[in-house]
Amino acid sequence: MDALDMGEDLAKVLISEDEIATRLDEMAAEIDRTYAGEEVLLIGVLNGAVMVMADLSRRLHTPVTMDWMAVSSYGSGTRSSGVVRILKDLSTDVHGKHLLIVEDIIDSGLTLSWLVKNLSSREPASLKIATLLRKPEAAQTDLQVDFCGFDIPNEFVIGYGLDFAGRYRNVPFVGTLAPHVYGG
Ligand code: IMP
Ligand code: MG
């Protein structure tokens, strides 16, 4: 899917496919330097992190294994509540392993804070966070993000794994939607 397919649904391209690729190169190099050949278990948060996981992991020289978690935040509306339910847990025992959570976006940071607490209780050797995108509010929380692709404005974005009502995940760039898409 590309900008043409989106037609008038696309307001603007915020981060292009090329910009994402360049930044992922840099992030992968940083991650390789950090782990220096130690094996890492990449934990992708479904569904949004699928694209980042695929593209970031293929750039790494560090030996990795991969696992996935699906979580859902309780509560109505568009705001994250911080009360989280596990829809799909890991298939791996993480005890004593180096864990790197791979996220698409951190907004309030509430979901990820919960996930960090949950995974820490399983006694991994270490736990770090990589995210492609981060919004300003998240930057103000005490959540320590180890590898961050882009700090973006406080706007709703779609593409590169991120959806609106389940759609636009397969858009190769990160963009914003025209108001009529929300308005119906
Ligand atoms: P948080 O708990 O507020 O950090 O919410 C994190 C989750 O909300 C992300 O993993 C996304 O699934 C979703 N989310 C937050 N902001 C956006 C956005 O701009 N577009 C699409 N999904 C978003
Ligand atoms: Mg996510």
Predicted pLDDT of residue 140 = 77
Q: What is the pLDDT of residues 115-149, one digit of tens each?
A: 999 999 999 999 999 999 999 887 778 899 999 99
Q: How confident is the model at residue 164 (pLDDT cuts 50, 70, 90)?
A: very high
Q: Which residues contact 114 (CB under 8 A, 6 or more apart)?
A: 71, 82, 83, 84
pTM over 0.85? The answer is: yes
Cα separation, 100 vs 41, in Å, equals: 6
Instruction: Identify the bridge partners of residue 130 per DSSP, sorted by sequence position.
Output: 102, 147
Extract the runs of DSSP E, i.e. beta strands, from 8-125.
10-15, 40-46, 64-73, 84-88, 98-106
- Distance in Å, CA 110 to ligand 2 centroid: 11
Closest residue to atom 20 of ligand 1, CA basis: 157
Which of 21-25, 139-143, 161-165 has the weakest average pLDDT? 139-143
Q: What is the pLDDT of residues 60-93, one digit of tens each?
A: 999 999 999 999 876 555 666 677 899 999 999 9
Cα separation, 17 vs 97, in Å, equals: 33
Predicted pLDDT of residue 162 = 97
Active site residue 9: no
Q: Which SS3 state, helix, strand or coil, does residue 110 take?
A: helix
The crossing angle, in degrees rounded to 10, of helices 50-57 and 17-35 is 60
Cα separation, 43 vs 48, in Å, equals: 12
Which of 107, 110, 155, 174 has most ligand 1 atoms within 8 Å of CB, for mutation? 107
40: which 2 tokens?
């890492």
Catalytic one of 32, 67, 104, 107 = 107
Q: In this predicted model, which residue has the larger pLDDT, 176 or 139?
A: 176
